[in-house]
Amino acid sequence: MTPEAVLTIFQQALQVMTVLILVLLIPALLVGLLVAMFQAATQINEMTLSFIPKILVTLAVLMIAGPWMLQLLIDYTQRLVDSIPSLLG
């Protein structure tokens, strides 16, 4: 196994991981921003107010995008397992 092959595998793993994380983080960040704007407009200083909407949005995103995320992970794993013979020799 060459160093280039290891770096390629690591790069692909980082790309898949980044996509999976961003799918969950971006909607939660947007909801947090909206709740913060609402709190600033109404001068409500409750720190825990943004947790429930973020959790609900994250669960909704997992339910909607979960099958796609799982398929992305399965495809990466299958490509990795299929490439084992070429990596070893």
Chain-centroid distance, C-alpha 65: 10
Question: In the chain, which ranges are continuous DSSP H helix?
Answer: 3-42, 51-82, 84-88
Domain residue extents for the chain: 15-88
Contacts of 19 (CB under 8 A, 6+ apart): 72
pLDDT, tens digit only, all 89 positions of the chain: 788 888 999 999 999 999 999 999 999 999 999 999 999 999 888 888 889 999 999 999 999 999 999 999 999 999 999 998 888 87
pTM for this structure? Answer: 0.81
